[in-house]
Amino acid sequence: MIIRTAIKEACLELNKKNIKSYLLDSEILMSKVLNKKRDYIILNLEKYLNQKEFDYFRYLIDERAKGKPIAYLTGKKYFWKDEFNVNENVLIPRPETELIIEQILKIYKNKKSLRVLEIGVGSGCVLLSVMKEKRGFIGVGIDIDKNCLKVCKNNINKLNLSNKISLYKSDIDNFNYGKYDLIISNPPYIKSIDFKYLEKDVSKFEPKLALDGGLDGLSEIRKVINKSSELIKNNGKLILEVAFDQKSKVKNLLKEKGFYINRVLKDLSNNDRCIISSKI
């Protein structure tokens, strides 16, 4: 079969499953199969696929039809300025999280060295992007899940950052190592009861550990704030990503632990997304 026909059939199947990006997804998955860029696919639609290529393409399309996210099928996701390796153990990096990087670059524009801790490092997209932008900064990343740390380590090697970042497997509650100028975290913040409202691609395929914020959505945020108040240096900053409806509660939790609220930022969808605070 030629590429054009295989893609046409795949589009019909994905469209039937209400996958709006059916053409783009089919082209991306064909690129994965042939290990070529997307423009090669578009320029070689009449090329014949061998049986092995066709079978692999059909397998990927079937998985996509079941709702598996493209990033898990390709094993890659672009974030800030780099392509990160991902698998089903890590949250797929989200564009709204890039707000954290933007803010750090603004706040520390003239800062040459800083000790940074990321709580819940996942794929490493946040910490590694900061470390690449600020070559004099030193980073520590922790995660409760050893499989996330494997992915993160892989990305550290890929981006040549192994001399600047240390990783620890730890629950935030048990982490007591070092003092930091800056702590960042995009913790799990979805209320357990709201899981059923998440898109199927997310609830069925992304790790619960990365999403589940307990009954009120705040259980991990509370832990992050409590522990940060011990690990942060005086005047150090804590930058948190939160859910659109958590601003007031999180501000109160921060104030109770001696943090001053510097700013609350909205994401591109106009949702409150990022709270910047300082330890006073």
What residues make contact with ligand SAM under the rule CB under 6 A? 91, 93, 97, 119-123, 125-126, 142-145, 148, 171-172, 186-188, 209-210, 220, 223
Closer to ligand SAM by Cβ: residue 186 or 277: 186
Comparing CB distances to ligand SAM, the nearer of 14 and 124 is 124
Contact 166, 117 (CB under 8 A): no
Cβ at position 249, least distance to ligand SAM in Å: 18
Q: Quick one: 187 or 236, whose CB is closer to ligand SAM?
A: 187
Shortest Å distance, C-beta 273 to ligand SAM: 12
Q: Do residues 93 and 86 touch, judged by C-beta distance below 8 A?
A: yes
Q: d(Cα 247, Cα 52) in Å, to the nearest integer?
A: 51
Residue among 180, 184, 186, 275 at smallest CA distance from 236: 180
Cα(45)–Cα(7) distance, rounded to whole angstroms? 9
Residue number with CB closer to ligand SAM (85 or 186):
186
CB 165 within 8 A of CB 156: yes
Secondary structure in 3-state letters for 170-206: CCHHHCCCCCEEEEEECCCCECHHHHHHCCHHHHHHC
Angle (CA) 231 236 237, round 5°: 100
- Give the dihedral sign, CA 123/125/126/128: positive
What does the angle CA 161 – CA 163 – CA 169 come to, to the nearest 5 degrees? 85
Question: Shortest gap between Cβ of 174 and ligand SAM (angstroms)?
Answer: 8
Least distance to ligand SAM from the beta carbon of 92, Å? 8
Comparison of 45 and 161: residue with beta carbon closer to ligand SAM: 161
Minimum distance from residue 79 beta carbon to ligand SAM (Å): 8
For residues 125 and 254, which CB has a smaller minimum distance to ligand SAM in the complex?
125
- For residue 229, the minimal CB distance to ligand SAM (Å) is 16
